[in-house]
Amino acid sequence: MAIVKMSITPSVLTWAREDAGYTIEDAAKKFPKIAKWESGESSPTYKQLKDISNEFSCSIAVFFFPEPPKVEPVKKSFRTLPDAEKKLIPAKIVKLLKKAQFFQYSIQELQGLANIQNKYSLANIKLTAHNIREVADNLRKFLKVSIHEQINLKNQQDAFKLWRNKIEQCGIYVFKQPFGNDDYSGFCLYDENNPLIYINNSNNDVRQTFTLFHEVAHLLLKTGGIDKTKQYHTQGLSNEHAEVICNRFAAEFLVPDEHFRKEYLNLEADDETISNIANVYHVSRYVVLRRYLDCGKITPEFYRKKSAEYEDSFKKVYEKDAKIFLTSYYSQVNYHSTSYLKLIFQSYYNHIIGENELSEYIPGITNINKFEERYLKSTAT
């Protein structure tokens, strides 16, 4: 049987290698024929292409693009993150960052093919350290979710679903999946037309909700951001620091200062009270703790102590193998942005892309028909 070679775009292979930080000499140690592949003299097999994809942390589908994605190196997206911290971002997270970049590029490509433009409705909002309460209040009004509607939600899961849906309606693409690294809760990639948020699904729903609005704050600061799970890592930073602003914004939005002061500030900040208030707002105990700190009800020392105690609660009570999640079509549909899936399937149904292209825009799906069936069920509910 003849060996099938893949008709990739050589310039995209060069881009992927360089973006991953490999010289041609280093890459040749693992892929001896890579120089010939990049020159177009030869092409890799599917297995070789899969190995390249894993080594360079990018989707297989990107190698079939007509030209290299016009995106900056992924770590440059985090302009407020010190270079020393950028170097410490683990490989698993870098791979997720590149996956997010692939989705962002795919969105731009599909919009161009369909001659449509995303309506990012928060582009004109400017967040600073001095207008957090005002911006949070205005955003709540824009989303049309009163504090009473939030409180009356059935549970934490419903709260996250509501907020995710509302943020997607603003033109922000919200993806999630298990990160395989508990130190990171989420990140966002800023773009003036197609901003994108990625959330660690291994955290519980209240943590995911906080991460969602932490990343929204980064987008309102017009920059990408990456969110570590340990909230006390921001201690000692200036109030002007982006991470501090984002934490304060998320806490203010989810538990408005005015409502909190009126209803709960006079209560003692003990564990039982903090837990009860967190359940009322459908947020984590950390958010309530942050409110007490901002109102001067507790000391910074008490805040640090309790933050460390509450850290473990950010993990879900139940643990499942990430591979089980990834093979479930229900989970896979849930992991993808609803706006993204709507865009690619509408392009497919309108004959803008074919079935092969459709599968390329959803990498990792082994049965596109089952995925489509699950997607259609989700839109009917």
Calculate mean pLDDT across residues 3-30.
88
Ranges 165-169, 283-287, 359-363, most confident: 165-169
Output the six-digit token pair for 328: 């479930």
CA angle 318, 269, 216 (to 5 degrees): 60
Q: Is the pLDDT of residue 317 over 50?
A: no
Confidence check: pLDDT of 146 > 60: yes
In three-state form (DSSP H/G/I as H, E/B as E, the rest C), the secondary structure along 273-326 is HHHHHHHHHCCCHHHHHHHHHHCCCCCHHHHHHHHHHHHHHHECCCCCCHHHHH
Confidence of residue 320 (pLDDT cuts 50, 70, 90): very low
For the record, the structure tokens of 362 come out as 């959803």
Given 3.30.460.80, 3.40.50.720, 3.30.565.10, 1.10.260.40, which CATH number is that of 1-68?
1.10.260.40
Instruction: Summarize the confidence of residues 188-201 as an average pLDDT.
Output: 95
**pLDDT averaged over the chain?**
88
pLDDT of 72 above 70? no
How would you classify the pairing of strands 196-200 and 173-177? Answer: parallel
Model confidence at 70: pLDDT above 90: no
- The beta-strand segments (E) located in the chain are 173-177, 184-189, 196-200, 225-228
pLDDT (0 to 100) of residue 79: 66
- More confident site: 316 or 260: 260
Look at residue 297 and tell me whether its pLDDT is greater than 50. Answer: yes
Q: What is residue 381's three-state secondary structure?
A: coil
According to CATH, where is 1.10.260.40 located in the chain? 1-68
CB contact set of 175 (below 8 Å; sequence gap of 6+): 100, 103, 196, 197, 198, 199, 335, 336, 337, 340
Query: What pTM was computed for the model?
Result: 0.82
Residue 379: Cβ within 10 Å count: 11
Q: C-alpha angle with apex 186: 181 to 327, nearest 5 degrees?
A: 60
* Mean pLDDT confidence for 309-323: 53
